[in-house]
Structure 1
Amino acid sequence: MFRLRELESRDIAEINSWRNDPELISHLGAPYRYINLRVDEEWFENYMSSRSRNVRCSIVDENDELYGLVSLTNIDQLNQCAELHLMIGDTVRRGKGAGTFAVREMIRHSFDDLNLHRIELECLAANETAAKLYEKCGFKKEGVKRGSVFKNGEYSDVCMYSILREEYMEVKGNE
C-alpha cells in the first residue's frame, strides 16, 4: 500500500505547507517558524549535494500521493550511526500506517543496505503516539532531556531512542 521513493523537487511545495502548519509542528521537536517556499527549495538543493550523509524519502501510496517524509541524517560512516526523522503530513493522512511502514523500511535500509550499527532519534515526551510507533518498531528509550526544547511558550522534555543492528536482527529473525 505504501512505498518509499527518494525525495523529489515536486514534493517540496507540499512539504513546505506542512512545515508551515503550527498544529503539525507542535508535535515535532523543531520550533515553529514561517518558512517560505524558496527556503525549502534551497533545503532540497542542499540535500541533493549531501546525499552521502543523508537519505530523504517521500512516503507515498500506490497513486504516488504524498503522505510524509522519512529521513536518515548525519550518517556517520566511521561510527556507523545516523539520526531518523519522520513527518506525516496533514491530519487526514495520519493513523493509516504510513509512519510505521516508513520507519520499518528505513530501519531495514539502514542495517541491510547501508551497514549501519545504530539509529537514533528524539521525540517530544508529550508525543505519545510517536513514542508508541517507535517502540513498536523496536526502538528502545535511552533517556529524557528535561526541559530541552521551547514549544508553545514553555519548555518541554525530549525522549531519546535508539535501535542497534543486533536488536533489529533479533526482531527480523522472529518474523
Structure 2
Amino acid sequence: MPDLWISNGHCGLGSYRSDLLDTYWQWEQDLLSMLGHGRRSPLSLERRKDWLDNQLKNESQIRFTVYDLSAATPVPAGFTVLGLDHTRQTAEYALLVAPKSRGKGLGRHATRLTVDYGFHVSGLHAISLRVLTPHASARAIYRDTGFREVGRLRSAGMWLGARCDEVVMDMVPADFVGPSMVSSYINSSPIQA
C-alpha cells in the first residue's frame, strides 16, 4: 500500500515513484494527454527515463502520484506537479489523469488536494497554470477548484492541427475552495503546537 501524504476519501496524493515510470510514460502517450499538454509527438521511454532521473533530483518541483481510493487498495490514477519559483514563493500547476481514470472526478479532487498542499504546507503565495482554450473539461476542473482566468496567450497553442489560445489562470490562498485536508489533519492530530 502506498504512503499517502494527503487524501480526502476519493483521492490521495503520494510520492512520485520511479517504479511507476513505465505507467506514467504510457499515460503521457495517450492522445488526449498529448493534446492537453501541447505535445505534438510521442516521447520515447528511454528519453523519459533520462528526464525522470533529472526530475527526481530537482528541488524546484513537487510531484505527486494521484491515487483513486474507490477500491480496497489505492490505484495509481495520474500525477500532479507544482513547478516552484522559490524567489516569488509561487508555483505553476500541471495535472495528468490516466485515460482509464477519467470521468470519476479525480482531476478535481487531485487539483484541490495539490493546491491545499501548496498553500498550507509549502506556503505558496500563488499558483498558476496554462490550459488550451478547447480543453473545456480541464478548464471546468480548474474553475471549480478556485482558479480564475487572468489572461490569454493568443495563438500560443495547437489543438487538432489548428492554432488556439492558451488561457492563463491563477489562484491565491483566498480563492482556495475548501475544506482544507491539511488543516483537518493537523487539527485532528494529538500533537499540536
- Aligned match of 1:157: 165
State which of 58, 63, 69 in structure 1 corresponds to 2:79. Answer: 69
CA contact (8 A) 1:29 1:149 kept: no
User: In the alignment, does 2:126 pair up with 1:115?
Assistant: no
Q: Which sits farther off after the overlay, 3-12 or 31-40?
A: 31-40
CA contact (8 A) 1:70 1:84 kept: yes
What is the distance in 1 between the residues matched to 2:74 and 2:48?
A: 21
User: In the alignment, does 2:96 pair up with 1:80?
Assistant: no
CA contact (8 A) 2:92 2:129 kept: yes
Moved over 6 A (4+): none
Q: Which sits farther off after the overlay, 151-160 or 120-129?
A: 151-160
CA contact (8 A) 2:38 2:158 kept: no
State which of 62, 67, 70 in structure 2 corresponds to 1:55. Answer: 62
What is the distance in 2 between the residues matched to 1:35 and 1:173?
A: 38
- Aligned match of 1:40: 48
Instruction: Mark the runs of 5 or more structure 1 residues left unpaired by the alignment.
Output: none
Residue-by-residue CA offset, 1:34-58 (whole Å, 9 max, x unaligned): 21111111222111110x2101111
CA contact (8 A) 1:117 1:165 kept: yes
What is the distance in 2 between the residues matched to 1:25 and 1:14?
A: 15
- Aligned match of 2:109: 101
Taking structure 1 as the reference length, the TM-score comes to 0.89
CA contact (8 A) 1:58 1:69 kept: yes
Larger gyration radius, structure 1 or structure 2 = 2
What is the distance in 1 between the residues matched to 2:143 and 2:120?
A: 20
What is the distance in 1 between the residues matched to 2:179 and 2:82?
A: 24
What is the distance in 1 between the residues matched to 2:29 and 2:115?
A: 28
The Cα of 1:25 is off from its aligned counterpart by 1.6
- SS, match of residue 14 in structure 2: strand
* Identity over aligned pairs, percent: 23
Taking structure 2 as the reference length, the TM-score comes to 0.81
Aligned length: 168
The Cα of 1:122 is off from its aligned counterpart by 0.6
Instruction: Mark the runs of 5 or more structure 2 residues left unpaired by the alignment.
Output: 1-9, 181-193
Q: How does 1:7-26 map to 2 (within 5 A)?
A: 7-26=16-35
CA contact (8 A) 2:134 2:159 kept: no
Residue-by-residue CA offset, 1:128-175 (whole Å, 9 max, x unaligned): 11111101100000111111123432211111100012222xx4489x
RMSD: 1.7
The Cα of 1:23 is off from its aligned counterpart by 3.3
- SS, match of residue 23 in structure 1: helix
